[in-house]
Amino acid sequence: MGLAVRDAILEGETVGLRCEDGVIASLGPEVRTQQDDEVIDAARMALVPGLVNAHTHAAMTLFRGFADDLPLMEWLERHIWPVEKRMDDDDVYWGTRLACVEMIRTGTTCFWDMYWHAHATARAVEDAGLRAVTAAPLIDDSDPAKSERACSDAERSLGRISEAGGLMARPGFAPHAIYTLSERSLRWVAERATELDLPVQIHLSETEDELAGCLEAHGERPAMYLDRVGLLGPGTVLAHGCWLDRAELELIAERGATVVTNPVANLKLAVGRVFPYTTAREAGVAVGLGTDGPGSNNSLDLLADAKTFALLQKNEVRDPAAVTAMETLEIATGRCSRLLGGRRLEPGAPADFLLVRGDDPELALGKLDAGLVYAAAGAVVDTTVVAGRALMRGRVIEGVEEIVARARERAAGLGLR
C-alpha cells in the first residue's frame, strides 16, 4: 500500500504524486494509483518540500513561558540547568512529543535536536513519525578531569539512541559549546565522529562573551579553535555563528561545515549581532535555519523564523533584494546544505512534503514562495507527509489531546507550572 496525492499544484502545474517505501515513486501530470493506496485529493493545494528545523532542543516545550526575558547565562545557570538536573526520560519523551505535534502542524518534517536523555527523544521521534538527528549534549565544565566521564556518557548515550531509534531518529554527537568543554573532550568527539561517520552539532559564536573568552583562553577566534581541535568538517552543524568574521566564514566554507542561523532566538536573547549571512553566502558557506529551543524562541513554527531571517538580513545590509523569498525557502527546507539533506520533490527523493492551502487568504494571491515566507504562518499547512506517511491530514493529528495532557503533567511535576 502506498500514499498517493491527486491534483496538487507544483510550480504552477497540476500534478499527482505516489509514494512507496518512503520515497517518491512517481510524480507528474499522470500518476497511476494502485487499488489499496491511501489517496489524498489535493485540489487547490500546493505541494511544498518539508521544512528542516536544523537546530532545536525539542523537549524544552516544557520550559515554554518559564523564566522568559533574561540574559542567556543567567537564564541557563539559574533557571534552566537546575531543573534539567531533575528531568527524566518521561519528561523528555512527552516534551518532545509535544514539540513534534507543533512541528507537524507547521510543516517541519525533519529536525536536529540536542538534549538530555536523547534516547527518549529518539523514541518520541519514532512514535511521532518525524525524522530527526538526536544527540545528548556533552559538557565537562571545561575541566579535563571531568572529560573522561563526559565522553563515556556520550558514548553510552549513542548506544541508547541507536537502540531506541530506528529508521527515523539518527544518532549524532552534540558537544555543547567551546566554553563548556575542555580541549580533550572536543578532540575526543572529533575522533569518534570520524570513526563512526556520525554528524556533530555544536553551538558556536553565539555571544560576544563567547568570542572574547575564546580569544583570551586560546588566542584565536572560535572557528579557528574548532578547526584546530579537528571539529570543523562537512559533518558538523554550527548553531548561531552571530559573531563569526569573514576569515572564519571562509575557513568554514573551505572545511564544508554548515552554519545554522536561529534569528528569533538570537533576537529574544539579545545577542547584539545578526549572523552575517550575505558574507557567509559570498564565502560559499552551507547554511540552514533553526528555531533553537522552545524555551528561547518560544515557537517551533519555522516559517516565522524564515520571515525574521529574511527581514533581518535585508535590513542588516540595507538592501531589500539581499535575500529573496525563494532563497529563504531553500534555506528553510535544508536545500542549501548537503548535510541537512533537503531535496527537490522528484522521483527517488524521500517522500517528505507538505500540502498547503492555496485558498487560505495569505496564499490566495501572488507567488507561493513570497506568500509562505512573508504572509503565512504554519497554519496554512493542511497535510504533512514524512517518509510517505501522512502524519497530519486536514490539520488533524491523532492523539494530540493525550500528548498535551501528558506534557502538562510532566511540566507540573518539574515545578514549571
Residues at the site binding Zn ion, with contacts judged by CB under 5 A:
292
Q: How far is the CB of 55 from Zn ion (least distance, A)?
A: 6
Cβ distance to Zn ion smaller for residue 91 or 292: 292
Closest among 270, 266, 267, 262 to 291, alpha carbons compared? 262
Closest among 187, 152, 150, 194 to 172, alpha carbons compared? 194
Name the closest residue to Zn ion (Cβ): 292
Q: How far is the CB of 72 from Zn ion (least distance, A)?
A: 10
Cβ distance to Zn ion smaller for residue 102 or 292: 292
Burial profile 54-90: b = 16 or more Cβ within 10 angstroms, e = fewer: bbbbbbbbbbbebbeeeebeebbeebbeebbeebebe
Cβ distance to Zn ion smaller for residue 292 or 327: 292
Cβ distance to Zn ion smaller for residue 292 or 360: 292
Cβ distance to Zn ion smaller for residue 56 or 384: 56
Q: How far is the CB of 239 from Zn ion (least distance, A)?
A: 5
Cβ distance to Zn ion smaller for residue 241 or 276: 241
Asked if residue 246 lies in contact with residue 283, where contact means CB atoms within 8 angstroms, the answer is yes
Cα angle 254, 182, 297; round to 5: 70
Q: How far is the CB of 150 from Zn ion (least distance, A)?
A: 18
Cβ distance to Zn ion smaller for residue 110 or 386: 110
Q: How far is the CB of 265 from Zn ion (least distance, A)?
A: 7
- Between 302-316 and 325-332, two packed helices, what is the crossing angle to 10 degrees? 130
Q: How far apart are CA 234 and CA 258, in angstroms?
A: 7
Cβ distance to Zn ion smaller for residue 210 or 292: 292
Asked if residue 362 lies in contact with residue 381, where contact means CB atoms within 8 angstroms, the answer is no
Cell 565522529 belongs to residue: 193
Q: How far is the CB of 242 from Zn ion (least distance, A)?
A: 12
Q: How far is the CB of 268 from Zn ion (least distance, A)?
A: 12
Cβ distance to Zn ion smaller for residue 334 or 358: 334
Q: How far is the CB of 395 from Zn ion (least distance, A)?
A: 29
Cβ distance to Zn ion smaller for residue 56 or 185: 56
Q: How far is the CB of 113 from Zn ion (least distance, A)?
A: 10
Q: How far is the CB of 175 from Zn ion (least distance, A)?
A: 12
Q: How far apart are CA 21 and CA 19, in angstroms?
A: 7
Asked if residue 290 lies in contact with residue 279, where contact means CB atoms within 8 angstroms, the answer is no
